[in-house]
Amino acid sequence: MMIDLELLEKGLSIDDQNYQFFVLFGIFDKLARSLINNMNGSNGYFGCLKCYIQGSNVSFKNGSHIIFRPESRILSRTHEEYLKDIDACNLSGTMIRGVKGETILSRLRFLRPTKSIVIDPMHTIFLGVVKDLFRYWFDSPVKE
Ligand SMILES: [Zn+2]
């Protein structure tokens, strides 16, 4: 099935001229990004679109969390490796390094999800790092 974005890449004929449109970049809400890229969520194993950090499961209160410890060497997720992971998913029917399979975006001509999709600042920075810093600064028992 061809999606509208693919139709735009083929071109629209207007007044005997063919106009082609290509998606070059994208930004998505953090939760939507994993869905539209058909990947594991950012709080799951291999949930990062940009690299291959695996994460590890730690117990926390009544459940557990996947945490990502700083590692000395984290491999970047290249577009070529991303496409190989999609192919491996299609063959095996299982998730490979956080990739669950093909997505509507992986068929676009110029979009390279690992490079072209930027990190959502709302959840990553403002509700992520900054929120944690404020909690650390103002909820800490030490007032220094
Ligand atoms: Zn990463």
Q: How far is the CA of 27 from the centre of ligand 1 (A)?
A: 16
pLDDT at 138: 86
Q: Residue 131 domain-assigned? A: no
121 CA to centre of ligand 1 in angstroms: 14
Residue 87 lies in a domain: yes
143 located within any domain: no
Q: What pLDDT is attached to residue 143?
A: 62
How many whole angstroms from 96 Cα to the centroid of ligand 1? 16
CA of 59 to the centre of ligand 1 (A): 22
In a domain, 136, yes or no: no
Residue 125 placed within a domain: no
Q: Per the structure, how many domains does the chain have? A: 1
pTM: 0.76
Give domain status of residue 133, yes or no.
Answer: no
In this structure, is residue 132 part of a structural domain? no
Evaluate whether residue 97 is within a structural domain: yes
Instruction: Provide the residue range defining the domain that includes 88.
Output: 4-120
Contact 91, 55 (CB under 8 A): no
Q: Which of the residues in the chain have pLDDT under 70?
A: 1-2, 142-144
> What is the 50 CA–ligand 1 centroid distance (Å)?
5
Which strand (E) or helix (H) includes residue 59? strand 56-60
